[in-house]
Structure 1
Amino acid sequence: MTAKNIPRRQAIPVLYTRGTHYDVGFDMGRTFASIIKNFLQICNPLNESYLPLYNKDEGRKVYNETLESVKKSFPQYIRELEGIADGAQVEFHKLFLLHMDEITAICANGTEAVAPIGCSSIIVNNESSRIIAHTEDALTATLNHYYFVVAHIISDTPQGKHKVKEERFMSLCYAGHLPGYTMNYNHHGLVFTINTLSALHLRSGKTPRHFITRALLSAENFEQALAVLKDEGVGAGDGCSINMSFINDESGKCYNIEMAPVLEDATISQLDIKEICCGGHNCHANRYERLSTKEANPWLLASSQSRMNTFADYPPPACKDDVTQMLGDCSGGEYCVFNENDSLDELVKTIAVGVFDLNAKTIALYSDNPNKTKPHCVLPLILKEN
């Protein structure tokens, strides 16, 4: 049985690690080396698009100018990625290409790439429930190729453009990827999930969304989170949607923030911030709902519209049970919310589900449909002591 043909496993690996950025990366790579190597072998976008472009002048130019830009802003996360490569004994450039994904294809040859991630997120914010819940939808090759990382990083000197000395967080990671681009929380009480958005015009030499959301794991408050997302002086090279809240924020607000690539000749990300106050809820998939940004990837847009239509058929969610019912819905046919199609040719599958309960300070983790199974585990969200 090959790595590509392994059926859905009822397992969620979790690594606890502590050290420098390089140490944490090395532990991730060493611990999950076989999963990372398998994923690199079967990841079609990497092998059929990004690597062939990397071996051409136009692709190498996009790679080099983006890498140099990230090194200036976030050298600590480059060291972290180097640690993953060294620990897993794989080539660094392959991992960095995964973090550029569509930037490589679109900027190098102008053609659309297959977006590597789908995802649906639901926020519920009322007097009895504060919930941020998320399906992790990804290319079929990603099934069984992910893990959770719980890390504590302490640096001797302030690191990167935001001058960070300590980070403590939990994040779901795709094999070979940095933390931050899926479902996450940090010890300052920041909880956030990510929905990929496919803007048509991406920017080489700017900050890939994977590194912006990695930096978001260091944010201590809402103002710092906004500063990370704005990325002043450089700006985002691609786009995503961030569903977030701070557990102990006195305002009790949750947010959906759409981020789009910088405009031409600009040096700050485009952002639209939607507040979800007490008594409200919000659903988001993989299309821009408010920013007027031209979008690529018709498949992702059609899938997003179908999932949003499914959500609209439900009464407004008010509690955790409502949310798991919606996220486990399989009624949408080809574009359903929870995609558990057993076909090996299926483009995208739902690989995991996370339900953050901000009042209880827990996350429930599922590797299968939350309508049909109980969570594998319910982990506490451990916050920094004042």
Structure 2
Amino acid sequence: MSSGKILPRRQAIPVLYTRGTHYEVGFDMGRTFGSMIKNFLILSQPLNETYLPQYATTKGRQIYNETLESVKCSFPQYIRELEGVADGAEVEFHKLFLLHLDEILPQSLKHQPRCKNQPTGCSSIIVNKPHCRLLGHTEDALTETLNHYYFVVAHIISDKPQGKYNVKEEHFMSLCYAGHLPGYTMSHNQHGLVFSINTISAELLRSGKTPRHFITRALLATSNVDDAFRVLQDAGVGAADACSINFTFLGDPRQMFYNVEMAPNPERKNESHLSIKEVPMGSCNFHANQFDRIHMDQANEPMVESSISRMRTFKAFKPPASEQDVRHMLGDATGGCYCVWRENGRADEVVKTISVGIFDLNAKTFSLYSDNPSLTQAHCTLPLLYK
């Protein structure tokens, strides 16, 4: 359906350093990566085959509008940021916002055809030991996402408090998919927060609530553990869709990691449903793309099957105790079509692992691999922005 061409895996990771208001930072992202964003909008099958046709319907436009208004009430600064991306890249804002709605629109339109389920998703490994404190993560996505990502290092200073949490300053680094706001992949901020995200496809999604992309964008402004839990709770509105967040703070005296499963709340409609798991010193944790603790129907059966396969692979290893162990686990290509490292070389391959990242909390570094981490060295190793 598209004239875009999917290139072979590139050994290039662009990085943008930007400073200004939310709109200015967004505009810089759009202007700098405009050609990549435009190409991704051409290639994106969910956008072109599902989201845009449903957006053109009366009910679809209603769901879009009520969710947009909800986000504007809570986080107007992130809407301005996304408007900056659209203006800088010279693309339509509604296409970018539809990407951030993700499955909210098709899941809310039960009578409408949904985009075809694929076993997309990511795998995260936490190692919390005195000599080895790591968060490792694979970014798995639809094949058209390959080569369509970049780093953004942003310092945002506002003249007055912004949004429901009255934030005036943000300083963070985040891996971004083309046209997307920072925060829904591997990210960290100046307060020592490091986190990764695992997408989960809940059956029950809610329009007029806060899409996960905007909740995790707000996570980039948090300065401590309680602040992070408050953002994920999203009191007064609540999450529209589901994901898992793996995070910790450098400098936290407890030296605790957390895995938080977040989902729409079927009972308390105006806040997120959270399940918080602590990963204390001396332990490890794995997470993929299914609920491990929340009892809620899931919509994407292939993603669940893939998650089960990847978790089975991880549990077959000895508990990881070094960065090399984590690299081998994240680069494991056994397990058939639902393996951890997704790259079988077939022309019709729908899902690929587009990159792998490892946060080393002891060394205060972040290493990104653009190819299999068990076979290659890091493409770049960057210092964490910790003040």
Shorter-chain TM band: over 0.9
Instruction: Return the offset for 1:295.
Output: 0.6
Aligned to 1:377: 380
Identify the range of structure 1 (208-217 vs 112-121) with the bigger mean alpha-carbon deviation: 112-121
Instruction: Return the offset for 1:68.
Output: 0.3
Identify the range of structure 1 (60-69 vs 255-264) with the bigger mean alpha-carbon deviation: 255-264
Q: Deviations over 1:249-296 (max 9, x none)?
A: 000000100001122561010000000001100000000000111111
Q: Is the 8 A contact 2:188 2:385 kept in 1?
A: no
Instruction: Return the offset for 1:116.
Output: 8.7
Q: Is the 8 A contact 1:125 1:281 kept in 2?
A: yes
Q: Is the 8 A contact 2:118 2:350 kept in 1?
A: no
Aligned to 1:204: 207
- Is residue 2:232 matched to residue 1:229? yes
Aligned to 2:334: 331
Instruction: Return the offset for 1:308.
Output: 0.5
Query: Which residue among 307, 310, 324 is the counterpart of 1:321?
Result: 324
Q: Is the 8 A contact 1:125 1:280 kept in 2?
A: yes
Aligned to 2:68: 67
- Is residue 2:95 matched to residue 1:94? yes
Instruction: Return the offset for 1:241.
Output: 0.2
* Counterpart-to-counterpart distance in 1, 2:250 and 2:72: 32
Aligned to 1:51: 52
Q: Is the 8 A contact 1:244 1:256 kept in 2?
A: yes
Cα distance 1:221–1:115, how it changes in 2: closer, same or farther (>3 A)?
farther
Q: Is the 8 A contact 1:200 1:295 kept in 2?
A: yes
Q: Deviations over 1:159-196 (max 9, x none)?
A: 00011000000001000000000000000000000000
Q: Is the 8 A contact 1:140 1:344 kept in 2?
A: no
TM-score (norm 1): 0.97
Q: Is the 8 A contact 1:182 1:193 kept in 2?
A: yes
Instruction: Return the offset for 1:58.
Output: 1.1
* Counterpart-to-counterpart distance in 1, 2:119 and 2:192: 28
Aligned to 2:285: 282
Once the two structures are superposed, the pairs formed by residues 297-312 of structure 1 within 5 Å of their partners are 297-312=300-315
Amino acid across the alignment from 1:193: S
Instruction: Return the offset for 1:112.
Output: 4.5
* Counterpart-to-counterpart distance in 1, 2:206 and 2:66: 11
Q: Is the 8 A contact 2:202 2:297 kept in 1?
A: yes
Query: Which residue among 104, 125, 148 is the counterpart of 1:145?
Result: 148
Query: Which residue among 250, 266, 274 is the counterpart of 1:263?
Result: 266
Q: Deviations over 1:25-70 (max 9, x none)?
A: 0000000000000000010000000000000011101100000000
Q: Deviations over 1:68-110 (max 9, x none)?
A: 0000000000000000000000000000000001001110235
Any gaps of 5 or more consecutive residues in structure 2?
A: none
* Counterpart-to-counterpart distance in 2, 1:116 and 1:267: 30
Aligned to 1:187: 190
Q: Is the 8 A contact 1:112 1:297 kept in 2?
A: no
Cα distance 1:201–1:112, how it changes in 2: closer, same or farther (>3 A)?
farther
Q: Residue 5 of structure 2 aligns to a residue in which SS?
A: helix
Q: Residue 383 of structure 1 aligns to a residue in which SS?
A: coil
Q: Deviations over 1:328-379 (max 9, x none)?
A: 0001110110111222321210000100001110001111100111001110
TM-score (norm 2): 0.97
* Counterpart-to-counterpart distance in 1, 2:290 and 2:55: 28
Q: Residue 232 of structure 2 aligns to a residue in which SS?
A: helix
Aligned to 1:134: 137
Q: Is the 8 A contact 2:136 2:357 kept in 1?
A: yes
Q: Residue 249 of structure 1 aligns to a residue in which SS?
A: coil
* Counterpart-to-counterpart distance in 2, 1:332 and 1:13: 32
* Counterpart-to-counterpart distance in 2, 1:56 and 1:357: 47
Once the two structures are superposed, the pairs formed by residues 5-44 of structure 1 within 5 Å of their partners are 5-44=6-45
Taking only aligned residues, the RMSD between alpha carbons, in angstroms, comes to 1.3
* Counterpart-to-counterpart distance in 2, 1:100 and 1:203: 11
Q: Is the 8 A contact 2:173 2:385 kept in 1?
A: no
Q: Is the 8 A contact 2:119 2:302 kept in 1?
A: no
* Counterpart-to-counterpart distance in 2, 1:95 and 1:250: 39
For this pair of structures, how many residues does the alignment match? 384
Instruction: Return the offset for 1:3.
Output: 4.3
Amino acid across the alignment from 1:280: S
Amino acid across the alignment from 1:25: G
Any gaps of 5 or more consecutive residues in structure 1?
A: none
* Counterpart-to-counterpart distance in 2, 1:297 and 1:117: 9
Q: Deviations over 1:273-326 (max 9, x none)?
A: 000001100000000000111111111011101100100110111111110000
User: Identity over aligned residues, as a percent?
Assistant: 65
